[in-house]
Structure 1
Amino acid sequence: CRLLGTGRLLGDLMDRIPEFIPRLADDTQLSQVRDLEPATARLIGLLDSREDPDAKVGTIRRFIRRRKLRIAARDVLGEADTETTLRSLSDTADAAVIGALHALTDGRPDAFGVVAMGKWGGREMSYGSDIDLIYVYDDDQDRERAFELATGLGRLLSEPSRHGEGLHLDSALRPEGKSGPLARSLDSYRRYYHEWAQPWEFLALVKARPAAGDPGLLHGFAEVLEPVLWKAKLPEPLVWEIRRIKARMESERIGPGEDPDYHLKLGPGGLTDVEFVAQLLQLRHGGRAPDLRVTSTLEALDRLAEAEILGEHDHRALRDAYEFCTRVRLRLHLQKGRASDSLPTDPKDVARLAASLGFDRTGELREQYRRLTRRARRSFERLFYESGGR
């Protein structure tokens, strides 16, 4: 009852996976989640046992749904913290993309690679996150095959199917966005990022993580990024442009009718504040401190504190706000069955959300939000706008 009463997403998943219903009485069995390596091996074994291409689509989509159901059950039952939930959802995407590429290439993804970006790259995916990614191939002779593989991944993972939803692939973070080629060669990325990269792309590339494909090629892509991102001194014009990007987001991106004071993502002291200050500090100091070159926001905050770039107070303020806003956002998605970035305004919805998160009083949820985000906003303003990261 606790699981089904949490909200729409778990009910929808149960409808698609009726064989899980008998397991509802056993919380331990329902919430078991494999780590990335055994999960990937399991999926590849299942794919290899199926000859029909449509059956492979069904195998991957069922794998995603079952993983998501187990992760959500573990989340609701309090058997995993927020960071573990984000990582497990991201591992699901890793395994699905690796498995799909395995199916397309018969296990030989030579000269082709998938680079995770955004929330996926940071291993911070929510229940409904898009899969931000870019595709890379070795040289021009591999171009046609690379486009076929990129299209094939979309077919296996994203296109409408009788087997239900999969993962939504989004390659808009590639050079030149949707007007640019779907995949590029290693040399093309090297030229673009050295000569034409935009300030927002530096922020995006902090999250870039090799995810699937040819290991040697993906290592080469990381080598392309290293001199672009990790400079001994970050140019001040770039710092000012990053600040302008953030200021523009604050004034333009919160939609009409949404309360910026209770916006989990874009509100003061919310997720975007924490991500921007972490990435700016990484860019400022990562050239001299390789340990800071990580893609996870929470891990970056911890590394910055270990390097004494973040003081104890700022580290705790930023981390607490990020974890709290993320936890609330995850639970809202389970309740509504879709992504939601603002605390609800309807009293019944607020009461339901507060109870689900363990608050005795509805008002405690908003009080906790205000307390944590105000602390985080003070740290953000000092580190991001005033000192620029010491």
Structure 2
Amino acid sequence: EGVYPDRALLSFRRLSEQLGDAHWFLKMLRDSSGAAERLMRVLASSNFIARLLEYTPESSSWFGEESQLVPSSRDELEVEALAILKRSQNPDKTAESLRVIRRREVLRIAIGATLGVTNLKQISSALSDVSEVYLSSMMQLALRSVDSDLDVGIVAMGRLGGKEQGFGSDADVILVYRSDSEFAQRDAESAVAKLLSLVKDSILEFEIDLDLRPEGKNGPRIKSLAAYAGYYEKWAETWEFQALLRARTISGTNQLQEEFTELIDKYRYPTELSNKKLVDIRLMKARVENERLPQGADAARHLKLGKGA
């Protein structure tokens, strides 16, 4: 049963060769009710899962019991990531260990989704949790790697901010720091450059999108809290305040997160909207529908850019 039955047999052979004579694998297939059926169903349904299983064959043990396919909580992921950061002194090995966690958890979520263990809301929330822990952990590693104690915050935007990530979603974020040092911007830029390098994964791609930052691609990749305050007060456009509706801090000290949230709240949740801003919002929505909708797409059925989206 599945779209790729022949490919499933090939994937099963490769998996069996990798695990060799592992007693637990053979025992699971023999004794666990439904394990073999679940494994073959997944292999026949998703090449994405089959490929990831080749990198983490020990994850096959999950097929023995459906409870193991329930996504790990954010707290569990944070504890594991923090233990790695504390234990490892080699930046490259630490980064790879964090990548392994992400691959493993995305695989767990994908298998659970294929077998119907989790619903759509649980899937998107779990994927968002994995991305958040991955980003915050890698930022800690990046700061350590450039020998900086700067207080840097990560603000989730878009689908990540709304905890609506899919398997192919980018991580839309903006970055903020809090410091009065004249060298802080330089240190912050160095940390961002290191972060963008660390999160790369040739096995399971991870893309950070910083385009929602002030001034977009023409602006610095990270700004101070004071710079954000100045920008939002003097230069930000209506669409930028609309984008902040799903903004959510996911990293940084509690003080930085609270101060940034307090800053943006007065712009995204104003006590009243002027007629000009209401017109701007309507024009922005009309422009999205007219200019960004793919050619030939039905506006009534397009989930992201269609009417009512």
Provide, for residues 208-231 of structure 1, a one-character-per-residue CA deviation record: whole Å limited to 9, x for no partner: 111112221221111211222222
* 1:14 and 1:21 in contact (8 A); partners too: yes
Distance verdict in 2 for CA 1:2–1:147, change over 3 Å: same
Task: Pick from 90, 96, 107 the counterpart of residue 128 of structure 2.
Answer: 90
Q: Residue 68 of structure 1 corresponds to which residue in structure 2?
A: 106
Could you tell me how far apart the structure 2 residues matched to 1:209 and 1:32 are?
A: 25
- In structure 2, do the counterparts of structure 1 residues 264 and 231 end up closer, same or farther at CA, with 3 Å as the change threshold? closer
Q: Deviations over 1:25-59 (max 9, x none)?
A: 43332x03221112111122123332222212211
> Is residue 101–residue 109 contact of structure 1 (8 Å, CA) maintained in 2?
no
User: Could you tell me which of 41, 49, 63 is aligned with 1:2?
Assistant: 41
Paired position in structure 1 for 2:278: 239
Summarize deviations over 1:190-220 as a string: whole Å, max 9, x none. Answer: 0110111111101111111111122212211
Out of 30, 54, 57, the position equivalent to 2:95 is: 57
1:17 aligns with 2:56: yes
Q: Distance in 2 between matches of 1:28 and 1:35?
A: 13
Q: 1:124 Cα deviation (Å)?
A: 1.0
Partners of 1:4 and 1:63 lie apart in 2 by: 21
Aligned-residue offset at 1:166: 4.4
Check whether the contact 1:131–1:168 (CA below 8 A) recurs between aligned residues: yes
Structure-2 separation of matches of 1:265 and 1:98:
28
- Count of residues in correspondence between the two structures: 266
How far, CA to CA, are the matches of 1:259 and 1:232 in structure 2?
Answer: 36
* Paired position in structure 2 for 1:124: 164
List aligned pairs for 1:210-221, cutoff 5 A: 210-221=249-260
Q: Which of 156, 174, 186 is 1:144 aligned to?
A: 186
CA apart distance, 1:258 = 4.2
CA distance in 2, matches of 1:264, 1:203: 18
Q: Relative CO higher for 1 or 2, CA cutoff 8 Å, sep ≥ 6?
A: 1
Per the alignment, do residues 146 and 152 of structure 1 end up closer, same or farther by CA in structure 2, a change over 3 Å counting?
same
1:227 aligned to which of 266, 274, 278: 266
In the other structure, the counterpart of 1:201 is 240
Distance in 2, matches of 1:41 and 1:207, equals 26
What TM-score do the two structures reach when normalised by structure 1? Answer: 0.64
CA deviation profile, 1:250-280 (whole Å, cap 9, x unmatched): 1222223545454332234xxxx34xxxxxx
| Secondary structure of residue in 1 paired with 2:172 | strand
CA distance in 2, matches of 1:128, 1:69: 13
- Aligned partner of 2:21 in structure 1 is none
Letter in 1 for 2:286: A
Residue 248 of structure 1 aligns to a residue whose secondary structure is helix
CA RMSD between the two structures: 2.1
Please point out which of 140, 145, 153 is paired with 2:195.
153
2:175 aligned with 1:135, yes or no?
A: yes
Sort the Cα spacing of 1:11 and 1:41 in 2 relative to 1 into closer, same or farther, 3 A. same
Rate the CA distance shift 1:109–1:212 in 2: closer, same or farther, 3 A. farther
27 and 129 in structure 1: CA distance in 2 versus 1, 3 angstrom threshold = same
| Partners of 2:292 and 2:122 in 1: CA distance | 29
CA gap 1:38/1:22 in 2 versus in 1, 3 angstroms:
closer
* Percent of paired sites with the same residue: 32
Provide the rounded CA distance (Å) in 2 between the counterparts of 1:265 and 1:226: 25
Contact 2:153 2:176 in 1 (8 A): yes
2-structure distance, mates of 1:15, 1:267? 39
In 2, Cα distance between equivalents of 1:260 and 1:114: 34
Equivalent position amino acid for 1:152 in 2: K
Rounded Cα–Cα distance in structure 2 between residues aligned with 1:21 and 1:65: 14
Counterpart-to-counterpart distance in 1, 2:263 and 2:306: 35
Q: Look up the match of 1:39.
A: 77
Q: Distance in 1 between matches of 2:109 and 2:149?
A: 29
Whether contact under 8 Å (1:3, 1:73) holds in the other structure is yes
Take 1:188 and 1:84, find their aligned partners in 2: how far apart are those partners?
36
- Note the residue ranges of structure 1 that are not aligned, 5 or more in a row: 275-390
User: 3-state SS of the aligned residue for 1:92?
Assistant: helix
- Deviation sequence 1:346-379 (CA, Å, 0-9, x none): xxxxxxxxxxxxxxxxxxxxxxxxxxxxxxxxxx
Alpha-carbon separation, structure 2, partners of 1:10 and 1:253: 32
TM-score where L is the length of structure 2? 0.79
Assess if the C-alpha contact under 8 Å between 1:101 and 1:213 holds in 2. no
C-alpha contact 2:139 2:191 (8 A) present in aligned 1: yes
